[in-house]
Chains A and B, each alone.
Chain A
């Protein structure tokens, strides 16, 4: 590892702690919604600027742009160890951006605004931390830190079945991550017994010599956590409920960010720590991913709640992401990571559009919607654009990632890629059904005839620009991925 470059300005720690501080401020100022709002906005903005500032840091030969490593809990061998490479960078920027959007979108929230903003910032800290942590316990801690804010986001500001959804989300993710915790501690013990140094540092634990059965067991435990978060079939059943019942900010965070942490965990932790087990598991993962793509698409096709459709579509798209990982190649991985970012933006945008639609019509049920273009042409246009991006129209965001995944996958496993191509068709089928029922057809009567307001424009335009830009010129995102991806691919000892 290179020396601590970030000493002059502890960028990584700032990224992690700034939102925490902001959240604290929000909680403290719980009496004044206005203050909390601005605190949240400024914090989110600052974090975004900081994360963009990280772009300026050059990457070392080992891929790390910034590293921070300090003792934390020496009694257990836990270190406060953060690091940023190209992969983290992209995801951190995505997080910061979407969180800013989430703050903006929640601006008018009247129900306990200070609490909401505080939780959003806390969640941001957790997610950013997950993307930066290089110590397994620190990672786990931040991984779980995401739980509480999300639980409240769904549980307090959600819709009708919010409690069920929130509890289900909590229990699901927790059960996965507890498996991971067990494996983390066991791995630490095995490593400690072998080397005499008890540590949770990722780099050190990679050197652990494991028997194959042991390795597979640990790997499965790790994957339990990640598979739930991604979510892979059949661990996905929390997702539709959580997405559907969550308020818009929660949906953005869930779909845009939380799901990505699972994939990130796979490439940063599960694969490098247990390369042999990972290799053995690839076919299974591929089958699950492929099955998930179609299964979720099929279910999405029959839903009548548009938010639920988008929720299932997330499962389907994440199937592509996992497929790309399974293909185990530069192009496929870069495609997966790109698709992750793009899916985050697209789906987040879709959820926002849906929230606006619901605000105006009071419903998300397809049979009650229709003909929105007549009264809300601008909103409908945005909705259409995001839907198209979601179904993978070339030139819009998702396509760039999907095609790279497919190309990469075809290179190593043509059959998987060919099957996956079918998923693209399916996504068109359900997405167009959703568009059809919402903006086309005979019009329903919206309660609120106002088209987009100023703040709504402010939120939607950057998203729309991004959706187009990421589709037309994804290269700036691919460049920083190149080195870390190739390092990760080749360090694991897999072909």
Chain B
């Protein structure tokens, strides 16, 4: 069991390293086979290890990473239900995406780099998931950051792509600062960085400390999961290849923040204030992203904002105390959003590498398969009744409602509004892409088989993902909550209330759909206007940050460099040197070559000496 678990982690690493070091020397399909094979093998190993995850879970310590003084960090794995379900999802989705990528990247000359990074990403993500201490988790945390950086900028020859990668890395790293400080603080408080130990002893802390630590962790999570106010990197990250968007920026990495909060939930839950903050950030991000998604023109950016929005829901779930709801939504979202991205990749391919939804239309006629797959994803996203997305989102909203306080009711209200918006932009996307006639000029590209059939399992999972945690109302047994030992998350609301809530959810879905249908079924024209520009630019946060942060940063840097460094420090030194030399130059004038003036030096010297002696003698 332990070996299988270790293999789960190390297989992608091995694949990545082999591809990174030797990929270029191997014949063409071999790197791809290694990459896909290692991830699939990892998935299988995970399946094999799954029985060990129940109950107390499985622990493996590979070796001591570093120990110094009282500080001790091991390379140790913790395979408990939460980790297990996440591992399964990560390896599973990653396997499918790898296969898809094999088709997608078939002609790219640089595919070994791509697959090496992708494998490394899976390894890093699994490290986050399986780490038994915060430092190891941080290793994975930064590792996914780097892989994301490398993959966003994969097509490095356009500077914008590489810029986007850099932006992603740096913005998430701002969040990581909070994580780091949290880690340092936790070590100081507990003398250990073991996740279980910290969670177990969290109650020893006073409320203020807990709140602060939890907020620090929230900061870390915000960065990685693109939540307000660190969300600006995600839309730009769409510059990367589509499988990357599917895997990293939809299914796995962006949910790492949620996973972190779930991981540390025993600690975080001790602070109502922190929970409230999490919920608030979640819902605000959800709403913000949904509005932005309305205004986007590129298909992947729409999906990116929708991802942000959905991750906001997951935060909301954590904030209202329902880990299983968060994980539930995380899973279903992973399935349908991966599906959506990959289907979007197909669409883009079909449209001849055109990204703009206003230049698409009529795609249904180009490929029925893609249409149905995409539609499956869309209805999940929009929260169509009985789809996976419906159940998970509903569970979150219900949990928020159940909290009952005005604050949470407001949040609930915002959540519902977001749901309506979601439904609206989902169908807007669907209509613009698939309905009507083709508006672009590019010729369609061939779709390799590898790019369609891995989508099928995802579509199935997305549509029927609700079964994972089917509520009692629909005859389910809330299996996921039980597995996570979070029975408390299963709400015990009056049936009437539940019906009301479900009804409302269905109503907003239908409302959104209807509006979208009315407006976009027949394409009119590209929207323009202040509002849509505003939304397109993501509420102009980029500009704001540039003005508030980047410009002062540059300005201060320039001051340090040219003002302090060159001007003050070097200027002072060079000035001193110049002064010395100029003294020397003036002393040179004394040595003018004339004997008589040299002799005058004698006399002056003598006069001074005699005068001095005279003074001494008189005194």
Task: Say whether A and B bind each other.
Answer: yes
Q: Which residues of A contact B (CB under 8 A)?
A: 168, 234, 237, 295, 298-299, 301-303, 329-331, 334-335, 371, 373-374, 377, 381, 388, 393-395, 400, 403-404, 406-408, 410-411, 414, 417-418, 421-422, 424-425, 428-429, 432-433, 436, 439-443, 472-475, 478, 481-482
Contact among A168, A334, A410, A424 for B68, CB-based, below 8 A: A334
Q: B1 an interface residue at 8 Å Cβ cutoff?
A: no
Report the bound CA distance from A301 to B24 in whole Å: 33
Q: Contacts A406-B180, A414-B185 known; A439 to B170 CB distance under 8 Å?
A: no
User: Min CB distance, A444 to chain B, in Å?
Assistant: 12
Report the bound CA distance from A101 to B126 in whole Å: 36
User: Min CB distance, B556 to chain A, in Å?
Assistant: 6
Report the bound CA distance from A132 to B71 in whole Å: 29
Residue of A with least CB distance to B145: A393
Specify which chain A residues have a CB less than 8 angstroms from the CB of B173 in the assembled complex.
Answer: 424-425, 428
A394 touches B142 (CB 8 A): yes
Q: B464 an interface residue at 8 Å Cβ cutoff?
A: no
Specify which chain A residues have a CB less than 8 angstroms from the CB of B598 in the assembled complex.
Answer: none
Residue contacts A-B, CB under 8 angstroms, 17 given: A301-B557, A330-B68, A331-B69, A393-B146, A404-B68, A407-B187, A408-B71, A410-B184, A410-B187, A411-B187, A422-B177, A428-B169, A429-B170, A432-B149, A432-B170, A440-B161, A474-B66
Q: B405 an interface residue at 8 Å Cβ cutoff?
A: no
Contact among A388, A425, A428, A440 for B153, CB-based, below 8 A: A440
Q: Which of A298, A303, A381, A388 has the most CB of B within 10 A?
A: A298
A302 touches B177 (CB 8 A): no
B177 touches A424 (CB 8 A): yes
Interface size class of B (residues with CB under 8 A): 35 or more
User: Min CB distance, A313 to chain B, in Å?
Assistant: 14
Q: B541 an interface residue at 8 Å Cβ cutoff?
A: no
Per the 8 Å Cβ criterion, residues 113-138 of B in contact with A are: 113, 135, 138
Q: B493 an interface residue at 8 Å Cβ cutoff?
A: no
B177 touches A298 (CB 8 A): no
User: Min CB distance, B507 to chain A, in Å?
Assistant: 46
B146 touches A388 (CB 8 A): yes
Q: Which residues of B contact A (CB under 8 A)?
A: 20, 24, 63-71, 113, 135, 138-139, 141-143, 146, 149, 153, 156-159, 161-163, 166, 169-170, 173-174, 176-177, 180-181, 184-185, 187-188, 553-554, 556-558, 560-561, 564-565, 569-570, 573
Contact among B159, B557, B570 for A298, CB-based, below 8 A: B557
Q: Contacts A302-B554, A404-B66 known; A418 to B166 CB distance under 8 Å?
A: no
Residue of B with least CB distance to A486: B69
User: Min CB distance, A188 to chain B, in Å?
Assistant: 31
B156 touches A441 (CB 8 A): yes
Report the bound CA distance from A287 to B156 in whole Å: 40
Contact among B170, B558, B560 for A295, CB-based, below 8 A: B560
Report the bound CA distance from A410 to B216 in whole Å: 15
Contact among A298, A335, A440, A482 for B156, CB-based, below 8 A: A440
Specify which chain B residues have a CB less than 8 angstroms from the CB of A410 in the assembled complex.
Answer: 184-185, 187-188
Specify which chain B residues have a CB less than 8 angstroms from the CB of A377 in the assembled complex.
Answer: 24, 113
A418 touches B64 (CB 8 A): no
A299 touches B68 (CB 8 A): no
**19 more A-B contacts (CB under 8 A) besides A394-B141, A429-B170?**
A237-B565, A299-B565, A302-B554, A303-B561, A330-B70, A381-B20, A393-B142, A393-B143, A394-B143, A395-B143, A410-B187, A414-B184, A424-B176, A424-B180, A425-B173, A428-B169, A433-B166, A474-B66, A478-B66
B570 touches A237 (CB 8 A): yes
Specify which chain B residues have a CB less than 8 angstroms from the CB of A394 in the assembled complex.
Answer: 135, 138-139, 141-143
A371 touches B156 (CB 8 A): yes
A432 touches B180 (CB 8 A): no
Specify which chain B residues have a CB less than 8 angstroms from the CB of A441 in the assembled complex.
Answer: 156-157, 159, 162
Contact among A335, A371, A373, A417 for B184, CB-based, below 8 A: A417
Specify which chain B residues have a CB less than 8 angstroms from the CB of A408 in the assembled complex.
Answer: 68-69, 71
Specify which chain B residues have a CB less than 8 angstroms from the CB of A475 in the assembled complex.
Answer: 64-67
B554 touches A473 (CB 8 A): no
A473 touches B63 (CB 8 A): yes
Specify which chain B residues have a CB less than 8 angstroms from the CB of A442 in the assembled complex.
Answer: 157-159
User: Min CB distance, A451 to chain B, in Å?
Assistant: 10
Specify which chain B residues have a CB less than 8 angstroms from the CB of A422 in the assembled complex.
Answer: 177
B184 touches A406 (CB 8 A): yes
User: Min CB distance, B172 to chain A, in Å?
Assistant: 10
Q: Contacts A393-B142, A432-B166 known; A298 to B71 CB distance under 8 Å?
A: no
Report the bound CA distance from A471 to B69 in whole Å: 18
Report the bound CA distance from A24 to B466 in whole Å: 79
Specify which chain A residues have a CB less than 8 angstroms from the CB of B177 in the assembled complex.
Answer: 421-422, 424-425
Residue of B with least CB distance to A372: B156
Specify which chain A residues have a CB less than 8 angstroms from the CB of B185 in the assembled complex.
Answer: 410, 414
User: Min CB distance, B74 to chain A, in Å?
Assistant: 11
Specify which chain B residues have a CB less than 8 angstroms from the CB of A395 in the assembled complex.
Answer: 139, 142-143
Closest 6 CB pairs of A and B: A330-B69, A440-B162, A394-B139, A331-B69, A440-B156, A410-B184
B569 touches A234 (CB 8 A): yes
User: Min CB distance, A473 to chain B, in Å?
Assistant: 7
Specify which chain A residues have a CB less than 8 angstroms from the CB of B187 in the assembled complex.
Answer: 407, 410-411
Residue of A with least CB distance to B73: A403
Specify which chain B residues have a CB less than 8 angstroms from the CB of A440 in the assembled complex.
Answer: 153, 156-157, 159, 161-162
Report the bound CA distance from A303 to B566 in whole Å: 12
Residue of B with least CB distance to A167: B577
Residue of B with least CB distance to A409: B184
User: Min CB distance, B114 to chain A, in Å?
Assistant: 13
A298 touches B169 (CB 8 A): no
B181 touches A237 (CB 8 A): no
B69 touches A414 (CB 8 A): no
Contact among B69, B135, B176, B570 for A329, CB-based, below 8 A: B69
Residue of B with least CB distance to A236: B569
Residue of B with least CB distance to A474: B66
Contact among A388, A421, A428, A436 for B181, CB-based, below 8 A: A421
Contact among A302, A330, A373, A432 for B169, CB-based, below 8 A: A432
User: Min CB distance, B327 to chain A, in Å?
Assistant: 25
Report the bound CA distance from A423 to B218 in whole Å: 21
Report the bound CA distance from A98 to B424 in whole Å: 62
Contact among B135, B138, B188 for A411, CB-based, below 8 A: B188
Report the bound CA distance from A410 to B69 in whole Å: 14
User: Min CB distance, A163 to chain B, in Å?
Assistant: 13
Report the bound CA distance from A201 to B181 in whole Å: 43
Report the bound CA distance from A234 to B189 in whole Å: 35
Report the bound CA distance from A411 to B188 in whole Å: 6
Report the bound CA distance from A130 to B439 in whole Å: 75
Specify which chain A residues have a CB less than 8 angstroms from the CB of B146 in the assembled complex.
Answer: 388, 393
Report the bound CA distance from A421 to B149 in whole Å: 21
Specify which chain B residues have a CB less than 8 angstroms from the CB of A404 in the assembled complex.
Answer: 66, 68, 71
User: Min CB distance, B194 to chain A, in Å?
Assistant: 14
User: Min CB distance, B134 to chain A, in Å?
Assistant: 11
User: Min CB distance, A482 to chain B, in Å?
Assistant: 8
Report the bound CA distance from A260 to B214 in whole Å: 38
Specify which chain A residues have a CB less than 8 angstroms from the CB of B139 in the assembled complex.
Answer: 394-395
Report the bound CA distance from A425 to B219 in whole Å: 14
Q: Which of A301, A428, A478 has the most CB of B within 10 A?
A: A428
A403 touches B135 (CB 8 A): yes
Report the bound CA distance from A400 to B142 in whole Å: 13
Specify which chain A residues have a CB less than 8 angstroms from the CB of B556 in the assembled complex.
Answer: 298
A295 touches B564 (CB 8 A): yes
Report the bound CA distance from A373 to B554 in whole Å: 28
Q: Which of B149, B161, B557 has the most CB of A within 10 A?
A: B557
Specify which chain A residues have a CB less than 8 angstroms from the CB of B159 in the assembled complex.
Answer: 436, 440-442
Residue of A with least CB distance to B569: A237
Report the bound CA distance from A301 to B20 in whole Å: 29
Report the bound CA distance from A473 to B63 in whole Å: 9
Report the bound CA distance from A424 to B163 in whole Å: 19
Report the bound CA distance from A481 to B187 in whole Å: 22
Specify which chain A residues have a CB less than 8 angstroms from the CB of B135 in the assembled complex.
Answer: 394, 403
Residue of B with least CB distance to A441: B159
